[in-house]
Amino acid sequence: MKMIRVISSHIKEIGYDYKDKDLYIRFWNNQMYVFYGAPLRDFHGMIAADSKGQYFHEYIRDFFFYDTVYY
């Protein structure tokens, strides 16, 4: 999976696992989370959003099960 660097004060990179339909978000503190079952439209929505953090708070954070990714 390829992570895409974004311009944001809180979010560093966003990636999407097309096979499992999971959204990966790495924050500037290097914590990375996987949001299970997030639709592809949310990945594209975050990429296109003027404010990645606002999109995250409005459409992602409280809507999907998630876990920390350790690497």
* Whole-number average pLDDT of the chain: 95
Give the predicted TM-score (pTM) of the model.
Answer: 0.93
**The predicted structure's pLDDT at residue 1:** 84
Q: How far apart are CA 68 and CA 38, in angstroms?
A: 15
Rounded mean pLDDT of 31-43? Answer: 97
Q: Which residue bears the tokens 């594209």?
A: 44
**Tokens read off for 7:** 């311009």
21-32 pLDDT, tens digit per residue, is 999 999 999 999
